[in-house]
Amino acid sequence: MLHLGQFSHKDRTLLPSHKEFNVNFINNSISMLEKMGCPSQESEAITLAQEPMDTSCTPLRSPSAFIINTEIGAVLSVMRRNVRWGIQYIEDEDQIDRSLIKSFKEIRREVFSWQTQWHTINPILYLQPFLDVIQSDETSAPITGVALSSIYKFITLEVLHLNTVNVADALHKIIDAVTSCRFEVTDPASEEVVLVKILQVLLACMKNKASVKLSNQHVCDMVNTCFQIVHQASSKGELLQRIARQTLHELVRCIFSHLPNVATPHVNEKENGYISSKTEGATNLDMLAVKVDERIGHTKEFLTTEPYGVPCMVEIFQFLCSLLTAVENSRVGPGLRSNSLSYDEDVPLFSLGLINSVVELGGASLGQHPELLTLVENDLFHSLIQFGLSPSPLILSTVCSIVLNLYHLLRTKLKLQLEAFFSSVLMRIAQNKHGAKYQQQEVAMETIVDLCRQPMFIYEMYTNYDCDISCSNIFEDLVNLLSKSAFPVNTPLTAIHVLALEGLIAMTNCISEKITGNCEVQVSEHAVPDPENEPFWKVKCENYENPGCWVPYIHKTKHMKKKLSVGSDHFNTDPKKGLEFLQGMRMLPDTLDPVSVACFLRYTTGLDKILIGDYLGNHDRFNVDVLLEFAKTFDFHDMNLDIALRVFLETFRLPGEAQKIQRFVEAFADQFYEQSPDIFANKDAALLLSYSLILLNTDRHSPQVKKKMTEEDFIRNNRRINGGNDLPREYLSELYSSICENEIRMTPAQGAGVMTHDNWVGLLHKSRQTVPYIVCDSGEQINNEMFAILSGPTLAALSVVLDLVEQDDVLQTCIDGFLKVAKIAGCYQLDDVIDGLLVALSKFTNLLTPVSMEEPVFAFGNDTKAMKATIGVFTIANTYGDYIRSGWRNTVDCILTLHKLGLLPTRLATDTANDSDQIEDPGKSVLLSPPPPAVLASHSRKSSGLMGRFSDFLYYDMEKPAPQPSQEHLEAHKRAVETVKSCHVNNIFTESKFLQSDSLLNLTRALILSVGQNKNEEASVFCLELLITVTLNNRDRIMLLWENVFGYISNIVQSAVMPSTLVEKAVFGLIRICQRLLPYKENLTDDLIKSLQLILKLDARVADAYCEHITQEIMRLVKANARQIKSHLGWRTITSLVSITACHPEASDPGFQTLEFIMFEGTHLLPANFVLCVNAARQFAESRVGETSRSLKSLDLMSGSAICLVKWSRATSEGEEGEAADKVYQDIGEMWLRLLQSLKKVCLDPREEIRNHAVFTLQKCLTGLDGIHLEDEMWAQCFDLVVFTLASELLEIVQEKSTKEYRNMEGTAVLCVKLLLNVFLYSLPSLCRLVSFCKVWIGVLSCLERFMKVKIRGKTSDKIHEIVMELLKESLVVMKGNGILVESDSVGSDSFWQLTWLHVKNIAPNLQAEIFPVS
């Protein structure tokens, strides 16, 4: 006979819970049931096999009495069979238990009479017979099974429901009966059916709505029974195993789904601050069931009959944790770790699955109940860390799932536990520091990536760990881990590499999604302030829930932590220098004190524990004081001595010298006694017992000690140490057991992240004092600091993976990662990151390598990676161009290659002006005629030069036609074109006006460098066009660019010795810049116009080639901007450019049109350009290029310019006075004189018409300017520099030059005589006031005398003679009439009168008598 409460524990082989059902096994089970003669059980077995989880049934509407009657009949019918022989009926019912049958018959007689008052009937009345059958030792398995089926039917059809009378007692009776079920085993199949029905009934009880009435004790009994069946099923059929395990899972789920509805009770704190459910000493899995039975049974006193709640859940959860502990202690020992499958996976997986159900259903409610939370913090997490290092990927996966759930639900309660799991399990396995298999690494990496995908995971890791002085840098370590894991080292790309990359991208996405529009404000707002003198161990946050408080707090602690990290490195090298360094960094006071040093050693991570022990163990007085203060930093309240000692010794390595050990133990004992005075009578007792524990630890765990100390020896050694009395034996026994089972390690564990028992105890102690877990609702305040850590490793990982991967989805993931990094970097204006992105990404475009392949466009169109990388480069350039610096160089190089391949638009970029304003270049621009696509063009090279073209012509018919491109080539070309089109390359330049100044400057420098280093003229011209376009689009910031742009154009122009497209683009580009900017930049007019002087420096051959078109553009410039040009320097440049065209056949017409536009009617004449324009007009007048009419027009322009002098003179007389007016008059006079001098030069022109017209014009300018204010002395200069000089030079020409060259000089001489005397008479009022008047007059007479004597064609001229006589006589009469020429009595040759007549007699001897007749 078997009793569920007294199962015999046999060796068992647990089958993996993930194995599928064996269909043959199920069929065999059904056949066995048929042979038993239990047809009613066949359908039940089939149902159980098909749906073991489904214990619910739709209630029937038949009255409960009929249901009960039916089940009574079923049980009686089975009882009447001869179960032992299977087919014979027993006629004598007396041989069967009459009491069982009698009770059924009694109920059957009365059941129908209860229908009218069913709600008042106690259900125990009709349940008891069934329960008696279940508990009877004499009933066989079939009978017990039918009774269990009846109970199951009553529960599922809600014969028993929440409102049933006395339902709680009824359920308790059922559970008591089922958990103590007895039956006679006839065959294995029947036994398994009964066990399945027991499971069904227990689960149905828990699923019934009335289950809320169950007590804690009964719930524990149900779980205990289910586990016993699970244990027993390991030696039975697989179907039973599956059902038993699934039922236990369902039972646990039902129980813990009730936890959120349970009110939080008030509980007392556990003794010693920890609750421990470790199954001590369990070394055999066969003992698990016994341990469980003892564990659930030993607490029956506190499990009352009240409705179940937290007490039973604590016991069940404690039991589940104990399963892990038992397996851990028995199978997962250090000695077995090397064998990856040295222990069975089944029990851990089963236990972990149950625990995961508890966590999933209990949810955050687990944290609201201290007993459950303590189990999670201590027992569960410790086991999770241990099992996380198991060699089984299945176990690791389950452990990681539990931790992921715990992080989501209880992370605020498990700060240090999560840190320990991340560092001791996940990162160790992911880095393969545990000798993990590839599958384990993949599971660990998947978990890390899943965590990184949680919205606030990385923010909380950075906030709670990286910014906590006493914690490790989890976020930074994860970033470095993922980055390194993405790097294939001498191996092909694997799933782990891609997973690691996905983790980095998930982190980047989290930061990117939190970016708001005011990133720049965030950067400045949260800048780290100068550290105050506040000790780092005293820095606190007023409110850990308010970002306004904790954000500045973590910035401060992170700043301190960085300094402490550097200081710890120095300390680990030399403790003295390390402390001095921290003093210099203001992390320790200038004068060291024991408290500050003790806190540094206590709370700083990364310190070498050996060096800490050596420093604290030093016998110097200061070091001793530091040790005492170090001990005071521990909180030993409510802690056992062994736990406290572990916590203390875990922070350093205990030195081996006896004196040092004594100082350490004394410091520890003093502090422990002060905090726990109720345990010991005095400090000596604590000291002696502490020494005794250290000795016991050495004795029990040292291999050199052969004879180990027994418990009695330990108790005997510690007699009467407590003030002459003995300590409680139980207390000492507990200490002895603790030391024996878990060694106090005196040396630090080897390897980073190794979690020993002492480390775990220290962690639990540390969790008491740790900073509260900060929940980050939003992370934009710390985005920039985190991105500074993330960007470099992410960029490196993206580059490596992109270099190796070929799959389209991974390629796109990499490109998206680049863009996400760019978005964040752009938000925080991290130009170095943006530059790094462009440098890295542009390498994958294959556009930076020389185009050496025959069909580069075809290769580009078939290279998905290159096309995606190209799109990425230009997306970054277009979107985040403000923050690009050196990265422009790579971008421009890519553009040049695309241009070389012929993949760019016909017109890549335009400036802000309309198309109608574009310069009409003499030849087609390279932009208007890009290179033909390589895939569509012949690859044969065309010869250049005359001979080459002649050769091509001769052999034209012999050339082979260009091959037609294949469909594959056409499709590749189409893909390439579409890719480049989607890049929107033109936007970089057309939208450059929106770039920040630094970025714009770097863009222009990149274009200049590319032009300078590119030997291909087409590419150079292309870059130059882009440079000019950028310049024109940024006219408001021209001064930022002008120096570089003009300097570069100047180099091109001055170095050119032959015409070329590059020089052409440079010259016309410069003119275009001036044309576009002059209307908007008046303050830059002089600089812009001055730049055109470059054109004057062109080599003669270059200038001649482009002169006409240059002049046309200068004309357009002047016509559009004449009013903006006001300086003499500007006009000198313009007139110089115009003047040099006077003798150029093609350029003279536009040049003269330009000059005419300036001078006509004096519209644009200014004092600044008057002389310049007159000189230019003189050059056109003297030029023989073109028709004579243009020279005449030039003279008219010169004559008309004199009107401006009159106008300026009148304006001065009306507005200016004094010295200012005199200065203006003087300037006007000088301009007038320069005009006369220019006209005088034209008066000597060999062409008669031009010469005569010039003389006429000169006379007009001398005598026809009424209103101009001239000083008297100015007329004397006029005669000396113009009139007399003209007469002299004209007479020389008449005498020396050929009449063929200078035709009809006689007429010109006549005109000159007229000019001479007319001007004299006109200026006579001014001249007569001069001291030098006599000199001028004598000069006039001398000129007339020379004209009288001149011979033309060998004889004197009558015309000249007549005009001289006539005009001389007129002049003398005028002078006589004005009283200038009067008779003088003076005797001598120096008098005006004498000198006059002396010269007149040489011209006209009789003229004196005629004018002054003798009376």
Q: Taking CA 712 as the corner, what is the angle to CA 706 and CA 718, rounded to the nearest 5 degrees?
A: 100
By the 10 Å C-beta count (0-12 exposed, 13-18 middle, 19+ buried), 1036 is classed as exposed
Query: Which residues, other chains included, contact 372 with Cβ-Cβ below 8 Å and sequence gap of 6+?
Result: 310, 313, 314, 317, 362, 366
| Pick from 66, 68, 27: nearest CA to 49 | 27
Asked whether the CA dihedral 986, 991, 995, 997 is positive or negative, the reply is positive
Is 650 in the active site?
A: no
Q: Which amino acid is at 1086?
A: D
CB 1170 within 8 A of CB 1208: no
Q: At what angle do helices 1358-1377 and 1333-1349 cross, to 10 degrees?
A: 160
Element (H, E) at 1219: helix 1218-1242
Encoded tokens for 1020: 């150079």
Sign of torsion over alpha carbons 56, 62, 63, 64? negative
Neighbours of 11 (CB within 10 A): 9
Reduce the DSSP state of residue 1099 to 3 states and report it.
Answer: coil
* Residue among 232, 126, 142, 140 nearest 182 (CA): 140
* C-alpha to C-alpha distance for 1244 and 552, rounded to whole angstroms: 90
Name the 3-class secondary structure at 266: coil
Q: Which of 34, 525, 657, 1017 is catalytic?
A: 657
Q: Which residues contact 489 (CB under 8 A, 6 or more apart)?
A: none
Q: Is 140 helix (H, G, I), strand (E, B) or coil?
A: strand
**Joined tokens for residue 865:** 């990676």
> How many other CB atoms are found less than 10 A from the CB of residue 1347?
24
* DSSP symbol at 929: S
Instruction: Assign 905 to helix, strand or coil.
Output: coil
Angle at 851 between CA 849 and CA 854, to 5 degrees: 145
Joined tokens for residue 389? 């290092």
The distance between the two most distant Cα atoms of the chain, rounded to a whole number of Å, is 204
Of 1120, 1129, 1122, 1034, nearest in space to 1087 by CA: 1129
DSSP letter at 964? P
Cα dist from 19 to 242, 390, 419, 1300, whole Å: 9, 20, 34, 125
Burial of 840 (0-12, 13-18, 19+ CB in 10 A): buried
Phi, psi dihedrals of residue 215, rounded to the nearest 5°: -90, 165
Give the Cα separation of 1140 and 314 in Å (integer): 105
| Rounded Cα–Cα distance for residues 1212 and 1208 (Å) | 6
The Cα 772–Cα 354 span in angstroms is 30
Nearest residue to 223 via CA among 239, 192, 199: 199
**3-class DSSP string for 1015-1034:** CCHHHHHHHHHHHHHHHHHC
Q: What is the total residue count of the chain?
A: 1415
For residue 427, give every residue at least 6 positions away whose Cβ sits within 8 Å of its Cβ, in sequence order, or none: 444, 448, 477, 478, 481, 753
**Rg of the Cα atoms in the chain:** 56
Contact 826, 883 (CB under 8 A): yes
State the catalytic residues: 657
